[in-house]
Amino acid sequence: MNIEQLKETAAAMVAPGKGILAMDESHPTCNKRFDALGIATTEENRRAYRDMLVTASGLGDYIGGAILFDETIRQQTLDGTPFAEKLRSAGVVPGIKVDKGAKVLAGHPGEKITEGLDGLRERLAEYYELGARFAKWRAVITIGDGIPSRACQAANAHALARYAALCQEANIVPIVEPEVLMDGTHDIARSYAVTELAQRLLFDELRGQGVVLEGIVLKPSMVISGSDAKQRAGVDEVARETLRCLLNTVPACVPGVAFLSGGQSDEEATGHLNAMNGMGVALPWALTFSYGRALQQAAMQVWDGKSANVAKAQKVLLLRAKCNGYAARGEYSESMEAAA
């Protein structure tokens, strides 16, 4: 393990004013997004779409890392350049999703455990050869009646830590992602309790497995009301509670915290991040974004599967990247949206 290399990679991923583009949708997820817009779900369309994203000129101004899916890291842009190489030359660190998805947790109806540890050492070695310098593993925690169970929380934290140790052994920075889903009617206090426990158990397990905390990036969900809650907390409360949770659980030596968007609208995700960075609280880690939908959905809609729309879609993508890059500094304002 080369700790200096891990630290350098992590620093580049979450450099000031930059965040991470999560473009690692699995086939089923990517196809679901295409289907919703009436775009044909072919391998070439998935390639062309990702081509549009990575060739957007100026992407590296606001994006420090991009997470690819297994299919994409083996594909090339139209001019024959492998996606990972294209990203690297744009100043964006290429990364790879390595988990095999969240599966039903035995004996725990309604709960999930993420799989993919078997053979991971060998897969990581191959991904390193293909250019990946960081990886992602997403754990899913559902809030509902009587859940999450301690068993679900513990199993997911343990899997995340074993994944992280394998990544660091391969000189790949692990993004550790304990996602507490926003789905449900729960209030923000319940979101806080579940998220804090998820993060607390995660850092216990990371330490237990000997993971070097200077060489990871945490990708948490925000502390936020359930999407169907009767009364949803406002921007300031989400920002305050999320920061309180992170300050209670995340050691100061962690280089970066990069949020997922988790179904928030584009403006909500940007606004929350901006509020946290604009509160005047001195934070020990970079606090930024690793958004999937909140960076891509508007651009995908404009692209619509047509090469004639590429330039327009790239403009939309770059605007979202810029707004979030500014939010990572606490310098975003809604007037920036008008450029759309």
Which residues contribute to the site for ligand 13P (CB under 6 A)?
22, 138, 177, 260-262, 291-294
CB nearest ligand 13P: which residue?
A: 292
Query: What is the token pair recorded at 6?
Result: 């891990």
CB 94 within 8 A of CB 87: yes
Could you give the CA distance from residue 64 to residue 58 in angstroms, rounded to a whole number? 11
Could you give the CA distance from residue 273 to residue 238 in angstroms, rounded to a whole number? 10
* Of 217 and 260, CB closest to ligand 13P: 260
* Of 39 and 222, CB closest to ligand 13P: 222
Sort residue 172 into left (φ over 0), alpha (ψ -120 to 50) or beta.
Answer: beta
Minimum CB separation of residue 294 from ligand 13P in Å reads: 5
Residue 63, SS3? Answer: strand
Query: What is the token pair recorded at 286?
Result: 């970079």
Active site residues: 177, 219
- Amino acid letter at 220? P
CB 293 within 8 A of CB 261: yes
Residue 315's CB is within 10 A of a number of other CB atoms, namely 14
* Of 81 and 301, CB closest to ligand 13P: 301
* Of 222 and 246, CB closest to ligand 13P: 222
CB 205 within 8 A of CB 161: yes
User: CA angle 135-136-137, nearest 5°?
Assistant: 135
Minimum CB separation of residue 107 from ligand 13P in Å reads: 25
* Of 78 and 225, CB closest to ligand 13P: 225
Residue 40's CB is within 10 A of a number of other CB atoms, namely 10
* Of 5 and 298, CB closest to ligand 13P: 298
- The interaxial angle of helices 293-303 and 266-277, nearest 10 deg, is 150
Minimum CB separation of residue 280 from ligand 13P in Å reads: 26
Measure CA of the first residue to CA of the last residue in the chain; give whole Å. 45
Do the bridges between strand 134-141 and strand 19-22 make them parallel or antiparallel, or are there none, so unpaired?
Answer: unpaired
* Cα–Cα distance list, 287 to 56, 218, 276, 328, 330 (Å): 24, 10, 8, 6, 10
Q: What are phi and psi of 281, to 5 degrees?
A: -90, 130
Could you give the CA distance from residue 86 to residue 271 in angstroms, rounded to a whole number? 30
Residue whose pair of structure tokens reads 């473009």 in the numeric block:
23
* Of 68 and 260, CB closest to ligand 13P: 260
Nearest Cα neighbor of 218 from 240, 242, 241, 239 is 242
Minimum CB separation of residue 303 from ligand 13P in Å reads: 17
